[in-house]
Structure 1
Amino acid sequence: MTPMSAMRQGALTLGIFALFTAGSVALTRAMTAERINDHREAYQQRQLLAVLPQAIGDVPVAELLDSTFALPDPALLGHRSPTTGWRVSHGTLQALVLPVTTRQGYSGEIDLLVGMQLEPDTQPRISGVRVTYHQETPGLGDKIEAQRSDWITHFNGLRLADLPPESWAVRKDGGQFDGFTGATITPRAVIKAVHDALVYAEHLPLVSHQQEPTP
């Protein structure tokens, strides 16, 4: 075999190997994409149920998923594109769940769900908060996760007017909430995001006027 033939054969073999590898990666990605999406949806459903008021925590998942509405001015909650929230009615009880994104975490973006119980003639009351995405430092910033600590539950039961504006902050900044040793930036970002959600809900027409969302 001449050197030129050997080079051609090597190039052909390399090309076939590259095509096979690319095809295998594409096939694996296609096979796992649906499974990953299913896991994400299941995780979101669990988090949604976790932030609802306990009295309606047994709402059927199908009913929950059908209760979405388009958020007006989603940028006020940190979103860069159209986003939906949830307005859940179960018997005489009503709840609101708002997705919030903050980019002020130590390692970037933090996504949250803020659940609120709606009551006539009063401000929405926080029923639960859960972090759905973050990249904060393990062992420090990840204490915002409910499975890591109970810190995130300290918002439960609060209304916007329960604390003066300056108290919606970590104690280091003169506020009401504990920070984390060595990780002040993370809780600071979450507190602001939760406060933003309450301010947003206070001016949301379907909350302030107790109306059903427009289909």
Structure 2
Amino acid sequence: MPQASPPRSALHIALRTAAILLAFTLVFTTLMASAYYLMAPRVAASAQAEKLRLIGVVLAPSSDGLLNPSLDKTFYDNDLLTDAITLPPTSALGTSEETRLFRARKNGQPTALIFEATAPDGYSGKIGLLLAVSAEGQLLAMRVTQHKETPGLGDYIDPKKDRNKVRPWITQFSGIGFDSVPLEQWHVKKDGGHFDQMAGATISARAVTNASGRALAWVNDHREKLFALPANRLYKE
């Protein structure tokens, strides 16, 4: 009878399994890295396009407060992405990291500041905002950039989710400044302020309203220096 081959040792099996796993990991990592480097320019271009789209939206509300991005070039003629400065973390804006502020100019004259703010007290967490403030201190428009508010309830703060497509809730802020709505009235009506909120979903509206008032007040207090700072510098108070 042929002699049976000796059984493989447990160490041999373990080493072989480890070698297979290592080879798989190296191949997978290489493929993922290659995909990342191939896709990175496309992802960056997409992010830049989305940023420009949102900037166009907040810079170009029409007379009724609705979206009219086709008007953005009537408001500025400079390169917004290069005419920008860096803001440090700023408590009045609710930001905990550095953000970029863009300056719009027409024929060399300041027309608007576009910047980010955060409402820290949304129902389901932080709410990211993008605001455009005119050189005269009015809030031209505001849009939500990120949120986790309850679908079908508090997410009406985002005009894409608002069921009122004729006049979304957030458009009530377009073209308003402290000359028409004093800072002490920059709250939802349930809190004795000026701005509407949806019944049963006040927390989201309250967070956005209060954050926008704080942000508008801070920018108005600093807007001359914000316009004057050379591009690509870090703003310091």
Q: d(CA) in 2 for partners of 1:139 and 1:11?
A: 50
* Match of residue 148 from structure 1: 161
C-alpha change, 1:212 and 1:167, in structure 2 (3 Å) is: closer
Q: Which has the higher helix share?
A: 1
- Residue 75 of structure 1 aligns with which residue? 91
The normalised TM-score by structure 1 is 0.81
CA distance, structure 1, for counterparts of residue 14 and residue 215 of structure 2: 64
Q: CA deviation at 1:153?
A: 0.6
Give 2:179's aligned residue.
161
Residue identity over aligned pairs, in percent, reads 33
Q: Quick one: distance in 2 between partners of 1:182 and 1:54?
A: 28
- Which residue in 2 is equivalent to 1:2? 7
1:213 correspondence with 2:231:
no
- Give ranges in structure 2 of 5+ residues lacking alignment: 1-5, 63-70, 163-167, 231-237
Which residue does the alignment assign to 1:24? 31
Larger Rg: 2
Whole-Å separation in 1 of the counterparts to 2:161 and 2:210: 20
- Look up the match of 2:210: 192
The answer to whether the 8 Å contact 1:107/1:135 transfers is yes
Match 1:131 to one of 123, 126, 144: 144
CA apart distance, 1:93: 6.4
TM-score, scaled to structure 2: 0.75
Of residues 108, 111, 114 in structure 1, which corresponds to 2:125? 108
- Distance between the aligned counterparts of 2:200 and 2:35, measured in 1? 40
CA, structure 1 residues 213+43, in 2 after alignment: closer, same or farther (shift >3 Å)?
same
How much does 1:170 deviate? Answer: 2.1
Q: Which residue of 1 aligns with 2:72?
A: 57
What is the one-letter code of the residue matched to 1:162?
S
Aligned-pair CA distance for 1:175: 2.3
Once residues 131 and 156 of structure 2 are traced to their aligned partners in structure 1, the CA distance between those partners, rounded to angstroms, is 17
Could you say if the C-alpha distance between residues 23 and 99 of structure 1 is closer, same or farther in structure 2, counting changes exceeding 3 Å?
A: same
List runs of 5+ in structure 1 lacking aligned partners. Answer: none
* Cα shift at 1:198: 1.5
Note the alpha carbon deviations across 1:115-156, whole angstroms, 9 max, x for none: 12223xxxx112111111222222222211122231111101
Contact 1:53–1:117 (CA<8 Å) still a contact in 2? Answer: no
2:195 aligns with 177
